Structure formats: structure tokens, C-alpha cells
Structure 1
Amino acid sequence: MDSSRALKRVALLRGVALLCACSLSIGSHFGLNSLGPLKSKLSREKGTSSSQFGLLTAASALNSTWTPLVGGLLAARLGTSLSSIMATSIIFAGQLILLFGDLTGSVRIMVFGMFIFGLGVSPLAVVQETIIVRHFKDHGLGLSLALGLVAGKFASFVASRISFPLSQWNEHAPFFVSACLAGFSFCVNLFYLWYSKWMASELDRSSGISDDDALHEVSEKRKVRIGDLLNMGDVFWLYIAINVFCGFIWTPFFPIAPNIIERRYGLSEGRAAEESSLLHAGSMFLYPLCGYLTDVVKKRSFVHRLLLLSSVLTMFCYGWLSLSPTTTKTPLPAMISFGFGLGFSPLLLVIIVPHLVPTKYVSTALGAHKSIESSGSTMMQTLAGLALDSKKRTQAKSIEKVLNAFLTLNIIQFFGVYIMMVFDRRRRQRLLSQMPEAIQESENEALTAGAGDAERPGELHRLNSSPIVGSHMRRAVKEEELLVTASERMRGKVFLTLSALLILWTWMLFMICTLLEFPGTKP
């Protein structure tokens, strides 16, 4: 009887911890995705231009160009309690500033609020993962981490679905709800800290790992060592280039999609918000499904093919919207296709990393991936806003030009993924030729047996370097150093310099456009 009660108590402790971890990201995801359906309303009531709206949405991604590079290090230095309080309070403060800007009618203040908001997003991910790792390291870690991600995606879907109806009830309601949810996440964090100390003995017995130990484990796997980027080879830098184009075509479409389909198909604001909310629907069930499939199939080429499929699905969306509205009649097929394509593709960019670099380089590769993708996203959101405001063409022509740009960039991304797949296969063959003879024979036997690119059982390694990779993705690169040549290292220096210049240019573009759009004290 005592044993049964103890098991129930442990289950309750873990359940509360998981609920807290999932609740932390609700405020940030809701606030980030509630703006898109309000674009027309903000333009009508506050005179917000497309350029200003582009800066408003880009401001949240701007700090993600550098926070992933130092997030793990900062979290390790600050400790569990301080880093968690800082992350949630920064997001809450950003939402309060955004609300104040909405109440005063100052778009400039709203942009500043989103800028502050973006500072807390990456540290919050560290806190969320730390809580889950502490309590579920040996008890369903993968499923728990997936639930944490899905909770955020569900909040994004709800935000895109209800933000416009809320604005019809009260013009400031969406911003009040966003601020309240950010405050709720902050309060949940305070509750978890109190709960952890109050139940410290029970928590340590049930989890076998302390909060500080869990933070150390998570932060170590998020640390970025810039010098390691020179040892990753040409295929990795091709992957980084693809991330730029993924940043161009993925996130920037979310905030402008409702306005585009509203004007292109003559929909009401409410109908446009409803149909564009489907863009967020796919990830709620495709994230776990994609993770399961990649774990079961265990073929390195499978991830490449899934990424190609996602590119085709998003390409269909842009192609459909680029056609004449009199021909297509409805944007619904495009929204569904994009929702499915982006329902798993961001996860694939994480899952593919262990195929490209050894374990000790994974944290650095993931930090670079997120930083570069955020640079592409920030630039495209800023430039799309400028293009939609162009006075050289009509609004319909401006929208068509932006859609054609998305489609062109998507085509480039597709071919980039295909070229990466070919180069990765060739690199694999080169690695096999340089392996010890016994290992090479074993690999060849597996290939002959029809196992494709499956890994040998003795060489499988589980990763905890990211929420999804840590739970179900197997290693595909050997533990040794990548066999990169001296010329590859030289090219690595060039690519690293170009990446740094890209981030610098992203900040310069944002700041220049901000000064041009908000030259005075009024929006």
C-alpha cells in the first residue's frame, strides 16, 4: 500500500512539473502569433504601413540571431532560478510594453516591446528543457519534450484563430490576452520554483537529478564554440546556407498571410484569419509523428527526403497563391499545404544535424542553425514589408511580387536540399573508404542486405542536444573528428566570416529601416 501511494505521489510530482514546463511557452507563442490576423486592423486604426508591420514582427526574431549562440553559456553562469526568472520576466515585460504601445497608439513602442520580447525566447527554451530533463530523464524524456513543443504550437494555433474575434469584441483585447498569458507563464515559473524547494526531497528521490544538475546538462549541450565551426566541412556549410532560405520562406509568411489572402481573394478579415490559422495546425500532430517515423526508419536518406517533401508542400502553397485568384477561387489548398509542409520541416532541420556532425559539435551546429535561420527570417519580414509598401506598383501587384519572391526562394531552397543530399551521400562514401577495413565490411554488408543507409547497432547513440533529437534520433556520424581537408577548413573560415557579416547586415537593415520608418517621436 505504501509502495502504491509512493508511486502515485511520484507520478503527481512529475505531472505537475510537466504541466509547468508546458505552460511556460504558452505566453510567448500566443504573443508571437497573435499579430498576423490584426495587420489590416492596425493599418486601418493606427495607420501602420506594411513596412512598419514588417518591423514589428521582425523585431521579435532579431535577437534570435545571437541569443542561441550564448544562451547555454548564460544559463550555466546565471543558474536555474535566476535564468528562469529572467526569461519569463523579459517576455512578460515585452508584452506589457507592446500593450502600452497599443493603448497609446505608438507603433514605435510596440516595436520596442517585441524587441524586448525576443530577448527572452531562447533562454526560455533552456528553462523549459531543464525542467523536463530533471523529471523525465529516465522516464519518457522524448514524449515529455515533444509535449512541451506541441503545447507551444497549440498556443500558436489558438492565437491565430482567436486574435481577430477578440479585436472585434474590444480593440485592445488581443494585446491584453497576450500580456495576461505572458504573466501567467511568469507566475507558473514562480510556482515551479516554490514547488521545487518545498518538495525538494521528494523531487530528488523521484527524479534522481537536481535542478542545477539538469541545467548543467542542458546548458552544456547548448554551448556554442565558434572555433568548432571550422571543422565541420562543406556539407555543413551547405546546410547553413539552406537555413538562410528556410528563414526566408517559413516564419515570415505567418504574419502577412492573413492580409495577403484577404486582399487577394476578397475575404473578410475574420474569414482570412480563420483560414490562415491552418498554417499552424499541422505541427500539433506532425511533430510527434515525424519524430516517431525518423526513429523507426533509421535511414539517413529518409530525413533528406522528408525535407524535400516539405519543400514541395510549401512550394505548392506559394505557387497556388501566385496564380490568378479567378482561377484558384480559394486559398484553402495553399493554407493546408503550407500547414503540412511546415508541420514537420523545422524539426527536420534539427534532426538532420547529428547526421552531419559528430556528437561534440551538435550544440554548436544547432546554435549556428538557429542564429542563421533567424537572420533570414528577420531580413525577409523587413523586406516583405518594404515591398508591400512600394509606391511604384498597385497593392495587387505588390502582393504578387512578394508571392513570386517567396516562390523563387522556395525553389532555390528545394534545389539546395537536393544538392545537400547528394553531397552528403558522397561524403558518406568518402568516410566509408577511410574507415577501418572491418567497419567498412560491416557497413557494406548492411547495404547489401537492403538496409540502405541504416546504422550498425553498435554505433547508435542517443542525443540530448535538443528537445526532439535528444529523445529519438540516432547518430549518423562517427564519434571521431570529421575527416575534413585543409582546403575545407580554409573555406570554413570564409563561410564563417560570411555568416557573421550576414548577422551584422540583418541588424543594420533592421536599424536603418526603423530609423526611416520612425524618424520622429510619433509613429
Structure 2
Amino acid sequence: MSSGYEPIGGEVSERNCCYTCAHSKACDPHSRLHRYLMLFFLCFMSFGSYFCYDNPAAMQDIFLKDVHLTVSQFMNLYAFYSWPNVVISLLGGFLIDRVFGVRWGGIIFSLVIFGGQLVFGIAVMFSSVPLMYFARFIFGIGGESLAVAQNTYATVWFKPNELNFVFGLTISMARIGSTVNMNAMQPLFLEVGRSFNITGETQVGASLLIASVTCLLSAFCAVMLAFFFKRYLRASKPICIQESSLNTATSDSLTTCRQPPDALPENDLYESSPLLPSSSTPTVPQREKTIRLVDICRFPLAIWLICIICVSYYVTVFPFVSLGLVFFERKYDLAPSSAAAVNSLVYILSAFASPLCGGAIDCTGRNLVWLTVGILLTTVSHLFFAFTSSVPPALLMVLLGISYSILASSLWPLVGIILPQYQRATAYGLIQSVQNLGLGLVSILAGYIVDTKGYLFLELFFLLCLSIALASTLCLYLWDLNHGSILNSGGQRNSSKPVIVVETTDAASSTDA
């Protein structure tokens, strides 16, 4: 007679026992130590994308002089990055949710940015402006969708009370990529010219080809994340054991399944409590919990307000940095090297400040308060840029970097609070689609304003955009008050699970029936 527990099939598979990982917590997929080791790969997955995205900004004077671009053509390099992502970011998020999965999505899109950067370097070598635009178009397809995959990894792998810090750290590493680019590309350009005895477009193109190596680093990190995340999902599956019956005369047995300790099982990734308890809230079978494109129209108002805040704020940072090199040279009479250093301060400060801000927000909560503070500090920075030259530009860029860190660390985790896992990649794709629509339009408009009106009018335009961001934040605050203050409550809120506010089409159909 046997009264103990026996594994089904007589043995426990490696897949189901690996969570015990008796040798080290570092290899236990469900330990905090293992998760934070994986955070290394998560952070560097987008390093190459951010490094190469701002290659033109780091070499703005070189592109204007050696590649013979006008300011409008130069800004089109950013516009053609943004335009495809008006659709592709949303489609990429949907594909990650429904087709590729986050693992293959990360790998595929990291390889796309590598290919786009290679074509860009070749296009510059041959002085082909249309091919440059096409290359940035391809690079943009991969870059923003890779960011969607990164955000999705973060919300799946980390608990709600860790998300602000995790997002802050990923933003930090992205900004480090941009900072290294801002300070490395011009020395790299000079070294390439000396080493290979080349000049002009060939020298610029060769520098861009060397920069593409960072995209291979991103691809490597995507592959490593895919491997460890697959291991994590396998280890999260319940262990089913068979309790033998005490009555030896019968062969009846009871099958019991237990979940690995501290696991976030794959099924639970798609389950959460409803936002507002209601008897009309339908019960949706697990197999039906998949996103459909029509569900985007059912996203709550908060998601659309986040879209507006994101686009109206980000257009005051990235286009400004793209045009900042010449701005600092003209208004503050800085040498090119000094102007480049000042221009990169936003990225340097955010690299250090983002994880600190994220940790502070995790402790205090009040995401919307932090969000408002970030917008107000950015407004102060642009006011001084517009109307005075007496304040050192480095100080204003430090302020801009801190305010950007506050906003980014408090804004992006809100999606994980509002929506369940199976809708988040699509939601992040939607936000980045709207963001890239704004960045594409503003990149063209900013170049036109500088060419025809000057930098003062550009700063006035940025102040208008910040006013829109502030008004949208106030609307989001009112929405939150009407829905139980889930976004702006204290730090204890962060320990709760994310909530569902969107029904799938199937769920709605079953309710109607």
C-alpha cells in the first residue's frame, strides 16, 4: 500500500522540477535574483536601437557639410523613421500578442534594425538620399516594435510593485545608448578617416556601418531573453502528482497539481480582476482571452489620454535634441564639441535618474503626481531656452533630463496597471504608433520652422505641446478619480495585480447571447 505522492508517469520531468534549482537561486527561474539577472539582457536588448537612432543627431554638422543635406532633409531622416511606426508599432504589438509571441518578436525585430542600419551606411556612402530615407524606414520598423517587445517582457516577468524601477532602468540603459552615441560618433568618424584614409560621404558611411555592431548586441540579448523566458514558462507549469488511494481494493487515485513557489504561471499572465466589480462582467473562458484588432476601439479613455500625453511630451524632447547641436552653437556660441556634450546631457542625466525615479515611484505611488511634475519641469526648461540666454544651457539640459526621467518612469507602467497581459503589447504598440505619428509630423514641422522662422518659434511650439500634455494629464487624473484612484494611489497599490478593463470581442458576443 502506498500513501505518498507519486509523480504522474513515475518521474518528475526536468521541466517541472527545475524551479527548485537547489544549487543556486541564480538559476531558479522564479527567484528575484534570476529575474534581475535577466534584467541585464532586457536593458541591453534596445541598446543598439537607441545608439543608432541618434547617429544623425550626433553628426548633424557632418551630415549638413559632408553629405550635403539641408536641415529639412536631415529632419526627414527622423520623419522616415517615425512614419512606418504609425502603423507598424500597432501591428507589431498585435503580432507579438497573437502571432510571433514576445520571444520571436524580439529576435525578428532586432535583426530588422541591424539590416536597416547596414542599408543606411551604404546609402550615405553613395550619397543616395532616397535610399537613406528607405533605410531609416526599415530601421524604424524594427526599432519601435523592439521597444514594444521589451515593454511586454517587463510587464510579464516582473511584479507590479517592481515595474516603475524596471521601466526606469530600461529607459536608463536606452539613454546610455544614446549618450554613448552622442559622444562617440564624432571621434569614431575622425578615427575612421585617419585609419582608412577616406573622406566625405565614404567616411560617414563607414562610421555608420561600424555603429551597426551595436545592433548585433541587441540581437544577442533578444536571443538570450527568448531562451531564458522559454525556460521560465516551462518551469511555471504546475507539477501534477498522483495520490494513491488508501483503499487497495480500488485503483482510484486523485491527481493533484501544485504551482511552483513564487511562480507566475503562463495562464495567470492572462487573468486579472475586473476594474469595476459588476454583475454584468462576463466570465470569459481562458481559451477565449486573446486580443483582436477591434478590441482597440474598446480600450478605456485612460489609454487614449496616455497616447496624447506621450506624443505631446516626447515631441518636445527628441526633435529638440535632434536640432540641439546647431541650436547651442548659434544661441550660446559653443564649439561643436561643447555643444555635443551639452546636447547629450538629457541622455546622461536620464541614464542615472530614471532607475532612481522609478524606485521612488514604486515606494511612493502617486504616478500621476510624478507625471505632472515631469511635465512642469520640462516646461520651465523650454521657457528659459525660449526667452533668455543668461542661464547656462548645461543646467537647463540637466533639468530637462531629470524631468524626462520622471515622466517616462511614471507614464509607461500605467498600461500594466490598466490592462491585462494579453492586451498590453497591442496597447504599447498603439501608444508608440500615435507617438511616431506625432514625431514624424513634428520632425518635418520642426525643420521647416527652423529654416523659415528660427529657434524662438520652435520653442513656442514646444511650449504649446507641453500645455496639451499638462491638460491631458489633468483629464487622466479626473478619470482616475472616477475609477477608484488605481493610478494615483499610494505605494501599497503597486503590490496588487493589474486589472482588466477591456472585454474581448468573444466575451462581448457571449454576453449578448
1:253 and 2:275 correspond: no
CA distance in 1, matches of 2:223, 2:307: 37
Alpha-carbon deviation of 1:52? 0.7
Residues 342 and 112 of structure 1, relative CA distance in 2, 3 Å threshold: same
Q: 1:137 to 1:242 in 2, by over 3 A?
A: closer
Q: Who is 1:284 aligned against?
A: 351
Q: Distance in 1 between matches of 2:267 and 2:64?
A: 46
Taking structure 2 as the reference length, the TM-score comes to 0.70
Q: What is residue 424 of structure 1 aligned with on the other side?
A: 479
**Does the 8 Å CA contact 2:364/2:491 hold for their aligned counterparts?**
no
Aligned length: 429
Deviation at 1:321, TM superposition (A): 1.5
Could you tell me whether the CA contact under 8 Å between 1:245 and 1:410 is conserved in 2? yes
Match of 1:344, SS state, is: helix
Aligned residue identity for 2:397:
M
User: Alpha-carbon deviations, 1:335-364, whole Å to 9, x = none?
Assistant: 111111111212333244467778887666
Alignment-derived partner of residue 128 in structure 2:
106
The one-letter amino acid paired with 1:157 is T
- Paired residue type of 2:410: L
Question: Structure 2 vs 1, CA of residues 239 and 39 (structure 1 numbering), >3 Å: closer, same or farther?
Answer: same
The CA deviation at 1:130 is 6.6
Assess, with a 3 A threshold, how the Cα gap between structure 1 residues 376 and 224 changes in structure 2: closer, same or farther.
Answer: farther
Alignment correspondent of 2:467:
411
CA contact (8 A) 1:96 1:179 kept: yes
Q: Is the 8 A contact 1:232 1:357 kept in 2?
A: no
* Counterpart AA for 2:124: D
Partner Cα separation in structure 1 for residue 103 and residue 422 of structure 2: 27
Q: Percent identity?
A: 22
1:378 and 2:440 aligned: yes
The 8 Å contact of residues 27 and 182 in structure 1, kept in 2 or not, is answered as yes
User: Structure 1: 5+ residue runs without aligned partners?
Assistant: 391-396, 433-442, 444-450, 464-474, 482-523
- Decide which of 45, 49, 58 is 1:28's aligned counterpart: 49
Q: Which amino acid aligns with 1:350?
A: W
Deviation per CA, 1:378-417: give whole Å up to 9, x if none: 1111111122222xxxxxx512221222123223433443
Shift, 1:62, TM fit? 2.0
Deviation of the 1:226 alpha carbon: 3.9
Q: What is the alpha-carbon distance in structure 1 between the residues aligned to residue 298 and residue 323 of structure 2?
A: 37
Return the match for 1:185 from 203, 206, 218. 218
Q: Which has the higher helix share?
A: 1
Q: Is 1:398 matched with 2:462? A: no
Partner residue of 1:368?
430
The answer (yes or no) to whether the contact 1:130–1:215 under 8 Å persists in 2 is: no
In the alignment, the residues of structure 2 paired with residue 25 and residue 458 of structure 1 have an alpha-carbon distance, to the nearest angstrom, of 29
The separation in 2 between residues aligned to 1:80 and 1:357, in whole angstroms, is 17
Question: Tell me, what secondary structure is at the counterpart of 2:431?
Answer: helix
Amino acid at match of 1:349: L
Task: Determine if the alignment matches structure 1 residue 66 to structure 2 residue 119.
Answer: no
- Equivalent residues in 2 for 1:226-375 (5 A)? 226-230=294-298, 232-233=300-301, 237-298=304-365, 302-325=366-389, 327-328=390-391, 330-353=392-415, 365-375=427-437
Q: Is 1:94 the equivalent of 2:104?
A: no
Name the SS for the 2:69 alignment partner: coil
How far 1:374 moved relative to its partner?
A: 1.9
2:66 is paired with a residue whose SS is helix
In structure 1, C-alpha distance between the alignment counterparts of 2:148 and 2:289, rounded to whole Å: 10
Instruction: Find the aligned partners of 2:220 and 2:502 in 1 and give their Cα distance.
Output: 45
1:377 Cα deviation from its structure 2 partner: 1.4
* 1:101-250 map, 5 Å: 101-128=123-150, 147-170=169-192, 171-172=203-204, 174-189=207-222, 204-205=234-235, 223=291, 225-230=293-298, 232-233=300-301, 237-250=304-317
Alignment partner, residue 461 of structure 1: 496
In the superposition, relative to structure 1, how do residues 201 and 89 fare at CA in structure 2: closer, same or farther (>3 Å)? closer
- SS of 1:48's partner is coil
How far, CA to CA, are the matches of 1:39 and 1:362 in structure 2? 36
What's the counterpart of residue 70 of structure 2?
A: 49
TM-score, scaled to structure 1: 0.69
1:367 CA drift (Å): 3.8
**AA matched with 2:355:** P
RMSD (CA atoms) = 4.3
Determine the C-alpha separation between the residues in 1 that align with 2:41 and 2:143. 17
Contact 1:222 1:364 in 2 (8 A): no
Name the SS for the 2:318 alignment partner: coil
State how far apart, in whole Å, the 2-side matches of 1:8 and 1:360 are: 28
1:296 deviation in Å?
A: 2.5
Q: Is the 8 A contact 1:68 1:370 kept in 2?
A: yes
Question: Does the C-alpha gap of structure 1 residues 102 and 213 become closer, same or farther in structure 2, counting only changes over 3 Å?
Answer: farther
Residue matched to 1:510 = none
Q: Report the alpha carbon displacement of residue 180 of structure 1 after superposing the two structures with TM.
A: 1.3
- Give how far 1:127 is off: 4.5
| CA shift digits 1:60-83 (9 cap, x unpaired) | 222222233222331341356643
Equivalences for residues 423-502 of structure 1 within 5 A = 423-424=478-479, 428=482, 454=489, 461-463=496-498
2-structure distance, mates of 1:237, 1:18: 29
- Given that 1:99 and 1:176 are in contact with CA atoms closer than 8 Å, whether structure 2 keeps it comes out as yes
Query: Separation in 2 of the partners of 1:267 and 1:89?
Result: 38
Aligned-residue offset at 1:101: 1.5
One-letter amino acid of the counterpart of residue 274, structure 1: A
Q: Distance in 1 between matches of 2:419 and 2:413?
A: 11
